Amino acid sequence: MTIEHRYDSDVSTPEARRALHEQNRRSWNEATRAHNSHKADQAKFLREGGNKLFPEEIGLLGELTGKSVLHLQCNSGQDTLCIKQLGAKRVTGVDISDEAIDFARRLSADSGLEAEFHRADVYDWLEEAAKYSERWDVVFCSYGAIIWLSDLGLWARGIASVLKPGGRFVTVEFHPVEMMFEMDLSHRYPYSTHGRPLTWEEGVGDYVEQSGPSLTPSGWKDGVRDFKNPEIVHEFHWGTAEIITALLDASLVLEHFQEYDYATFKMYHRMEALPGRKWKLPDDVPGFPLMYSIAARKPR
């Protein structure tokens, strides 16, 4: 199935970009309800010591005991609270979706894991946070966060502004090569749109239903079936060089870059399940990177 898309949205001014962000907020509000409908008792899972983070991000985050962690674009807070479980002293989550942040606050209370959650556009929040003295040891984002960024340079400078000297930025993300293909693995999209928005008429989809139990370690529920999002969505596809360059231009020092030939959700129809809640390309498809990870440090 071909998904309808277009490239005609305006990003010529901050006001135009803000309007696209707000439309994305509406689309994510719709999708978040569907996503969480498939996940069994998440609070119980966390109370019993469950942790949904993958080894890739746990390894990059490193020892967190006593540290402060800022989780940008934290969605419904599940990963944020899992970071708290790893020993972080203070954890803060930020997301544009009202539905996601409301859910995150309830999950924090019900699981007994303390975290602070803010509903805000990430650009507005970083600009405001930079005005105050509070700084974080680690800034983290992951898995489908960067495609919602309309200005990479502003984002990277915002991260640098809220990191402590010696603090680290960490991300594990889906690779821009992966986003060039349809669900049937036919090649259709460019590697990067260089900040030009790609508008999807179908809105944010229900990738949780698509991936099944691999994205629901707390247990699977049927939940919402055949979800159709009434709100369109705007993505911003960036190449890895553009992302790394933005971080370097913000005076962060690159410490780690790695690519992976597997993914943590079912991106294409014919993908095959691997142990550890991961997915690989079928054997008859030439391999290409599906994820990457970056760690960068703010100089002391």
pLDDT tens-place string over residues 184-225: 999 999 999 998 999 989 887 777 777 667 677 778 777 778
Domain boundaries 5-297, corresponding CATH code: 3.40.50.150
Average pLDDT of 9-31? 90
pLDDT computed for residue 2 by the predictor: 45
The partner residues of 234 in beta bridges, in order of sequence, read 199
H or E element at residue 18: helix 14-37
Question: If DSSP codes are grouped into helix, strand and coil, which group holds residue 248?
Answer: helix
- Mean pLDDT of the residues in the chain: 93
Q: pLDDT, tens digit, for every residue of 241-277? A: 999 999 999 999 999 999 999 999 899 999 999 999 9
Alpha-carbon distance of 220 to 142, in angstroms, equals 22
The radius of gyration of the chain from alpha carbons, rounded to an integer in Å, stands at 18
CB 199 within 8 A of CB 233: yes
